Amino acid sequence: MVDKNKIISALNILIEWALYILIFSLPFSKTAIEVCAIIAISSWILKRVFMGKSGLRLPQTGLNRPMLAFYLIGFLSIFWSTHIDISISAFIRKLTEYIFLYFIVFEAVSERRVVRNIIRAIALSAFIVCVDVIYQKITGFDFIRRYTMYGLDRISVDGKWQKFTGFGSIEGEILYNKWRVTGPFKFPNGLSIWISVVLFPFMGIALFFKKNLKLKAISAILAILLIYCLLLTYTRAAQISCIAGLILMLLLIGGKTSRITLTLLLVGIVILTLLIFMDPAGFQQKLAGDGSIQHRIRIWTAGTRMFAEKPLTGQGLNTFMANYERFKVPKKSERGLWYAHNCYLQIAAETGIFGLLSFLWLIIKMAIESIKSLRLIRDDFLRYAFLGLFCGISVFLLHSSFDVSLYSLQLAVLFYFSLGLLMGIKSIGLNQNG
């Protein structure tokens, strides 16, 4: 006779390890993400089959209603989509996978041990990314995917354009400070958003956790490395969002934080001053970004037109790019299809006002649940990891006003994974009190 409990236990172990590998490999391999997600989802569904009637009920995460409302509206958008094939594919292969992943992570995070293991996996991944970024800054290439720094595909030597093969092969002075690091990501924005999320749990532990000096020191080193790598991306929105996240963290922690705040501000001022003196022209060029701003304004205008045509139903899930040509602001020098560079505008354009409202409901509910629970979690490690994760997710959501993080596989998986982890830590922390 089949022992269901042993099978369920084995499936739980398989799910747990799939999640560890997924979050570790997230910056490095989309294939690994998909394989691990498929293993976790398949095992989770099979486990719930063996659970019988109890397996038909979703775990109560605190965010079920807004999450399922957003999912339902995404499904309904298929029926009035301007490109049904695109919407069906996005619903099955993207949104459904993300929602499954959220519930799976929440359910897997049932013990403090699992949280520590996930943090360890993220820490190892973060260290490798930081080494890769520094290597890329020195050599021009990252050593994982062989990506060049952004804008460094070709260079001018003696007035002639040639393929970049490494700084060592070029004679003369190369002003490569104007190029931006990407690490194992294809674009600097992707790297900066990933850093913005994973930075804050280590920052929270480094600043406030007192019981384990070794963990505190490791977290501090990782936080410093991640901040340095974030600066090298020259991504304005991510850097500003991280400052807002730091302010949020200090406000939430309360107490006598004036000395910490002053120290951090002084360090920030010193770093910015050094950057300006080291490369004033390049720094001003990065901050100006007039072309980028004008480009985004044109895309936002197209997105607003798209929403205005179908404000209630939207154009259909994941159809922004397919519809862009119909609504874009004409410009001869601009070619290609584009995302909205604003997640909220793109959600509204694709799923209508109800899709946007359901997602905002999810965000507000998450914020309320997190702020209410923060002071009730007595375990210091869980509390500061929870605080950092909430601030990291908040930074992600703020930065989503200027980018389309939720439409990138790596970053969307990071968001839903982090959300499941956040609610899982909350559940463990509150249950320990009970």
The C-alpha atoms of residue 28 and residue 145 are separated, in whole angstroms, by: 8
Q: What is the pLDDT of residue 78?
A: 95
pLDDT tens per residue across span 298-321: 888 889 999 999 999 999 999 998
pLDDT tens per residue across span 358-369: 999 999 999 999
Nearest partner of 421 among 95, 201, 153, 94, judged by Cα: 201
Backbone angles phi, psi at 160, to 5 degrees: -115, 140
Both structure tokens of 231: 């600066």
Bridge partners of 162, per DSSP, are 155
Q: Which residue has the higher pLDDT, 247 or 37?
A: 37
The C-alpha atoms of residue 425 and residue 395 are separated, in whole angstroms, by: 19
Q: Where are the domains of the chain?
A: 1-57, 111-288
Contact (Cβ atoms closer than 8 angstroms) between residue 12 and residue 108: yes
Torsion of CA 17, 22, 23, 28, to 10 degrees: 140
- pLDDT category at 291 given cuts 50, 70, 90 is low
State the helix-helix crossing angle for 290-309 and 320-327, rounded to 10 degrees: 100
Both structure tokens of 379: 């375990």
Kindly state the percentage of the chain with pLDDT values over 70: 82
Nearest partner of 377 among 333, 332, 328, 424, judged by Cα: 424
Locate tokens 């602001």: which residue? 329
Q: What sections of 26-148 are H helices per DSSP? A: 30-50, 64-76, 84-90, 96-108, 112-139
Q: Is the dihedral of CA 60, 61, 66, 67 positive or negative?
A: negative
The C-alpha atoms of residue 84 and residue 92 are separated, in whole angstroms, by: 12
Neighbour-count burial for 351-374, b at 16+ CB within 10 Å, e otherwise: bbbbbbbbbebbbebbeebbeebb
Q: What is the pLDDT of residue 326?
A: 86
- HSE-CB for 67 with a 13 A CA cutoff: 21
Q: What is the pLDDT of residue 292?
A: 63
Q: Answer yes or no: pTM beyond 0.85.
A: yes
- pLDDT category at 296 given cuts 50, 70, 90 is confident
Q: What is the pLDDT of residue 182?
A: 93
- Statement: residue 104 has pLDDT above 90: yes
Mean of per-residue pLDDT scores for the chain? 86
Average pLDDT over residues 216-225: 95
- Statement: residue 45 has pLDDT above 90: yes
Nearest partner of 349 among 66, 67, 81, 65, judged by Cα: 81
Contact (Cβ atoms closer than 8 angstroms) between residue 106 and residue 423: yes
Whole-number Cα distances in Å, 395 to 99, 200, 236: 21, 9, 13
